[in-house]
Structure 1
């Protein structure tokens, strides 16, 4: 699978596919499936305005020696939790420039610092000069299959670090309304047919009622 990032993935890179449209509610699975025993899943509760309220990220493993880890973002309390550790996001994130239009941020977890930036919708986390993780963007195509997101880790990381990086790479995107799965032509045509049929039946019924009940 070709990465949408500018940097070429090393042969040792570990890639996960995100096989759905709503970034806040989907599985994150290794690609190919036997590349890693780990898999992740996101779940996001949103308000009626589509603003996120609570995001949960769960890591599970087919290896019985690796215990499940749960992370999350509490958008109301503005906190991040990983494996029972709760931190205010304001303590973890800081600007790298004075510009309000620059989305580049420095994130800190434990003794590790990461700079997260975006280019053409692709999110990248770097540690120093090294690319650590890349989250590609969703690319829609009108006449062929959409390109769904991928997540690639370029170095070996602990499970807790992986959880942290996934959360911070998704952080800005999760603030936006979720991407919707496209409606197929068949489904759209079916809906249109149902609506048309209902309109025709309604018109016929109205005409019949008017005809039989009108005063001559």
Structure 2
């Protein structure tokens, strides 16, 4: 049996990694790091010097960053069918949307929350990878409106990652509730693995709140 460990906090992007692990269906151990210093402990900084969650360790291999974790797990456990075949058009779409969400989508949404203003000047906008939040949202809207899944005719880690961003953003008001977004995220969030992951993390939140932990 492989050694697979998730380092996370249930009130973090670690929820995405948890969902991916539940989709993979392999045994894994969870280490919960609190935000009162646990994520900055020497032991964890040896795993991720950024002191951020999530991270996974699989047979000694450390992977951080949610998109990388999703891509790694899909390749490490191909039997789960979470990545299209190498060299296929669907594989190209898979990489495109995984990293579109990790780059332009997340950056545009975070900048909006932080009220970072990009000057309305073509040269300045050209320096910003996402251009504008509206352009990013229109691009995602077009993609999820055209087809049920983003990479081929079946669910993949790209859907999980994009769907998690849309679901999280709509829940907290950082992404507008467009009908296409709600329909797409709704289909994905109904998956059994997604439900299991939410139940695990929600139970951990309730437990930690009851004990006064962060």
TM-score (norm 1): 0.26
Structure showing greater radius of gyration is: 1
Q: Which has the higher strand share?
A: 1
Q: Write 1 or 2 for the structure with the bigger share of helix.
A: 2
Higher relative contact order (CA 8 A, sep 6+): 2
TM-score by length of 2: 0.26
